[in-house]
Amino acid sequence: MIKVLFFARLREQLSTDSMQVPASENMTTEDIRQQLAKTNDLWAKVMAADSLLVAVNQQITDWSHSVNEGDEVAFFPPVTGG
C-alpha cells in the first residue's frame, strides 16, 4: 500500500487528511492523481488544479516520479512564507 496525505486546504476540501491506495507496478505520482480524480467530481476538480504540488517520502517531486510499495505521497497547495 501507499500512504497518501493531504495538507492545508486540500484536507479541508476533501474532508480527509490521509488514505491508503494499492501499489501497482510502474506507478507514478500522476497515476495516483488520476486514480484519486476518479472518486467524484469534487476530487476531480481538486486533483486537476494546475498549482497542485506533490511530494514522495517528504521530497517535492514531479508528476512522473515513480512510487513504490510503502512510499508516502503528499498532495498540497503552493506554500508561501514570510
Nearest to 11 by CA among 80, 79, 75, 78: 75
In sequence order, what E strands does 1-82 have?
Answer: 2-6, 18-21, 53-56, 59-61, 72-76
Q: Cell triple for residue 81?
A: 512564507
Can you give the pLDDT at residue 79? 74
pTM here? 0.92
Is residue 81 over pLDDT 80? no
C-alpha grid cell, residue 16: 480527509
Fold of 2-76: Ubiquitin-like (UB roll) (3.10.20)
Residue range 27-37, pLDDT digits in tens: 999 999 999 99
